[in-house]
Chain A
Amino acid sequence: MTALLEVKDVKVRFPLGGGFMSSIGMAPKTSIEAVAGLSMTIEAGETYGIVGESGSGKTTIARAIGGLHHAQEGSIKFNGTELRGLDESQFRPLRKDISMMFQDPIGSLSPRLTIKSLLTEPYKIQGMKDRDLEAEAKRLLGMVGLPADFAGRFAYQLSGGQARRVGVARALALDPKLILADEPTAGLDVSVQGELLNLLAGLQNKLGLAMIIITHNLNVVRHITDRMGIMYLGRFVEEGLTEDIFSNPQHPYTLALLAANPEPDPDAQLARIELKGEPPSLIMRPGACEFHPRCPFVRDNCSVGESPVWDTSNPVHSHRCHWPGQHTTA
């Protein structure tokens, strides 16, 4: 059995500078590794959460899977087909199966098209001329719980929550097998967030699609994902079953992240774990364990020598730490 999506050691680099000296070959061309060797597999129908701080490469990996960034190394296999290295015309038919929901709900909808055109554009792009566009737009709006007369509206006439729903409807237009949802609930209040997540969960059950959710919101990840990965500087520091990670975090960054999640209770006793300093620059990655300059539990062998290896001895819960699970302030 092959997984729906198999990402293996993927690296995505962005060139830096490109100043005059490097353009005439007088200075070396440098680059940063936004995604620095990341692997994961997603089964059909599964929900996978990616968390990590801003700049850790979450969006970059999603865009690389969706064919919007070029991955320089590694392999991205979807249903057994290698996606890396496909050009735009080769990738286009695959967009039927892999769809994206973008971060900014209103910004990702063209202001000059009606909702109907926005929803049915995918059919035109994929050359599905036999579809009744009017009926399809109605069907999609109904699926996400919006009234049919929204078809004639423009993006600026929608609220944030409604625009999100249009985003969901558009992502579902072509019956995809995988949805990449980048911060699908950012900026929504909790009741609207609940509606949207229930909607996605219901559609997922009905249509059997797999979903990758990128988010800052740990409460969302805890409730709706089956497995999750925690990114730091373009790599996973921990990955596995969501329940396992929440109940038994192995990496100190995960620990700090979970401890930072504010409780909606004014009397909650919070045991915070404060990280030292700032996220390091990708240009100057720290040596040894990349987390050591900020780790509150750093020990001697963390700052020198080998970086910790990706420990997969537990097949459902991997991590990258010299001292997994042994984190107490000595």
Chain B
Amino acid sequence: MGTDILTIRDMSIHYDTPRGTLKALRHVNVNVPKGKIIGVVGESGCGKSTLISSIIRLLAPNADMASGSITFDGKELYDLSEDEMRGLRGTDISMVFQDPMQTHNPVLTIGRQMTDIQYRDDKTAEQKKARAVEMLTQVGIPDPEARLEQYPHEFSGGMRQRIAIAMALMARPKLLIADEPTTALDATLEVQIIKRLEELQADIGCSILFISHHLGVIAELCDEVVVMYAGEVVEQGSVREVFHSPQHPYTKALLECDPGHIKKKTRNLPTIPGEIPNLVDVPPGCAFAARCPRVFDECHTKRPAWTQIKDGQHALCHLAAKESVQ
């Protein structure tokens, strides 16, 4: 596992709620190799946000890590002290959030915010400012020196998201977590952001964990994809393998639902019939069993194992152990 920057093994996270213990993540396995872009897809409520919070160790107070481990850059994250963890956030692990309109402090200039976050560095104010200018240039903000004097509201949405990316990459992190960074932007700006991310990633050599609903964006940007369903990681593999020969029935169904896949105009879009299981009272077998078109007896009683299909492609499915899902 020497090639992974982040390894999550058998991790379960439970929330203590008035309705009982909500098992938000159950026995999750994720690998983030060094220098790769990993996409994460899954519907709302499938545990994507819990996964992110667990990596930056900012879980809600009612959350409990019931099992498993997270290894980052050879260190067991949950063995670090709070001080050591704070040292990682923003330097080795940084984040870009969904909403570019609310990421920045509205009453401070962009320049102030970009120099403030370099507080750990032993540099003069001029050097910090120069670094800010350099980063703004890299994300394609014209006239960066003058722009540093401006406030967030003076930038467009696309620019603000690029500034957020510039700030997140300022410390040359080893891992960037991007939580739906293009959801709030239109298609032309989305493409711009993706291009910048690709360039910067190639330059800095960091890994990126890229969360998105948009399968098209994942296909274009990412090397590998992690598919989540109802608190479990059901498949991980290279984008090409997963998109062309999905091994988990949920992945297959999800890909078929994307209207971008359907060339002929239709008003009746495909869906996945049924409801997601109640995470307080999780069924004993496979979480997808109730909605799966290829369900059989074992699925209702026994939890499937995380099975390697081929080099670098894994699926959580009883079928995967036997044959490939077609």
Do A and B actually bind? yes
For residue A52, CB closer than 8 A to chain B, the reply is: yes
With A189-B44, A191-B271 known as contacts, the answer to whether A53 contacts B188 (CB < 8 A) is yes
Residues in B neighbouring A191, C-beta threshold 8 A: 43, 253-254, 257, 271-272
Could you give, for residues 34-67 of chain A, a 1 whenever the CB lies within 8 Å of some chain B CB and a 0 otherwise?
0000000000000000011111000000000000
A194 in contact with B215 (CB, 8 Å)? no
Interface-side segment among A68-76, A148-156, A217-225, A310-318: A217-225
A265 to B242 Cα, complex, angstroms:
10
A274 to B191 Cα, complex, angstroms:
9
Give the residues from 199 to 242 in chain B that come closer than 8 angstroms, CB to CB, to chain A: 213-220, 239-240
For residue B178, CB closer than 8 A to chain A, the reply is: no
CB contact between A54 and one of B157, B243, B258, B262 (< 8 Å): that residue: B157
Minimum C-beta distance from B275 to chain A (A): 10
Number of A-B contacts (CB under 8 A): 140
Minimum C-beta distance from B17 to chain A (A): 11
B185 in contact with A54 (CB, 8 Å)? yes
Minimum C-beta distance from A273 to chain B (A): 9
With A189-B44, A191-B272, A194-B259 known as contacts, the answer to whether A224 contacts B190 (CB < 8 A) is no
CB contact between A55 and one of B157, B243, B271 (< 8 Å): that residue: B157
A279 to B189 Cα, complex, angstroms:
10
Interface-side segment among A93-101, A171-179, A256-264: A256-264
A266 in contact with B253 (CB, 8 Å)? no
Q: How many residues of B contact A (CB 8 A)?
A: 51
Minimum C-beta distance from A293 to chain B (A): 12
A224 to B217 Cα, complex, angstroms:
21
A265 to B218 Cα, complex, angstroms:
9
B219 in contact with A268 (CB, 8 Å)? yes
A186 to B180 Cα, complex, angstroms:
11
Minimum C-beta distance from A62 to chain B (A): 16
With A55-B156, A270-B220 known as contacts, the answer to whether A257 contacts B188 (CB < 8 A) is yes
B158 in contact with A194 (CB, 8 Å)? no
Minimum C-beta distance from B78 to chain A (A): 29
Residues in A neighbouring B117, C-beta threshold 8 A: none
A189 in contact with B43 (CB, 8 Å)? yes
Residues in A neighbouring B214, C-beta threshold 8 A: 262
A223 to B186 Cα, complex, angstroms:
18
A219 in contact with B258 (CB, 8 Å)? yes
A54 in contact with B213 (CB, 8 Å)? no
A223 in contact with B219 (CB, 8 Å)? no
Give the residues from 207 to 224 in chain A that come closer than 8 angstroms, CB to CB, to chain B: 216, 218-220, 222-224
For residue A121, CB closer than 8 A to chain B, the reply is: no
A194 in contact with B184 (CB, 8 Å)? no
Could you give, for residues 183-210 of chain A, a 1 whenever the CB lies within 8 Å of some chain B CB and a 0 otherwise?
0001111111111011001000000000
With A54-B184, A191-B253, A279-B156 known as contacts, the answer to whether A223 contacts B190 (CB < 8 A) is no
A260 to B194 Cα, complex, angstroms:
11
CB contact between A263 and one of B189, B190, B219 (< 8 Å): that residue: B219
For residue B81, CB closer than 8 A to chain A, the reply is: no
For residue A160, CB closer than 8 A to chain B, the reply is: yes
A260 to B42 Cα, complex, angstroms:
23
**Interface residues on chain A, size class:** 35 or more
B267 in contact with A201 (CB, 8 Å)? yes
Residues in A neighbouring B255, C-beta threshold 8 A: 264
Residues in A neighbouring B213, C-beta threshold 8 A: 187-190
With A53-B189, A191-B271, A264-B243 known as contacts, the answer to whether A243 contacts B265 (CB < 8 A) is yes
Residues in B neighbouring A122, C-beta threshold 8 A: none
With A189-B254, A190-B213, A194-B271 known as contacts, the answer to whether A261 contacts B243 (CB < 8 A) is no
Most buried by A among B215, B259, B268: B259
Question: Taking CB as reference atom, which chain A residue is nearest B180?
Answer: A187
A325 to B7 Cα, complex, angstroms:
51
CB contact between B188 and one of A186, A195, A260, A266 (< 8 Å): that residue: A260
B261 in contact with A264 (CB, 8 Å)? yes
A319 to B156 Cα, complex, angstroms:
26
Residues in B neighbouring A189, C-beta threshold 8 A: 41-44, 213, 254
A160 to B43 Cα, complex, angstroms:
10
CB contact between A261 and one of B244, B257, B260 (< 8 Å): that residue: B260
For residue A278, CB closer than 8 A to chain B, the reply is: yes
With A187-B44, A194-B271, A275-B188 known as contacts, the answer to whether A264 contacts B258 (CB < 8 A) is yes
Which residue numbers of B lie inside 8 Å of A, CB to CB? 41-45, 142, 156-159, 180, 183-192, 194, 213-220, 239-240, 243-244, 253-255, 257-262, 265-272
Can you list 28 pairs linking A and B with CB atoms under 8 Å apart? Answer: A51-B186, A53-B186, A54-B186, A159-B44, A160-B44, A189-B41, A189-B213, A190-B254, A193-B257, A193-B259, A194-B269, A219-B258, A220-B259, A223-B265, A256-B188, A257-B186, A260-B190, A261-B216, A261-B260, A262-B216, A264-B218, A264-B260, A265-B219, A266-B220, A266-B243, A267-B240, A277-B142, A278-B156
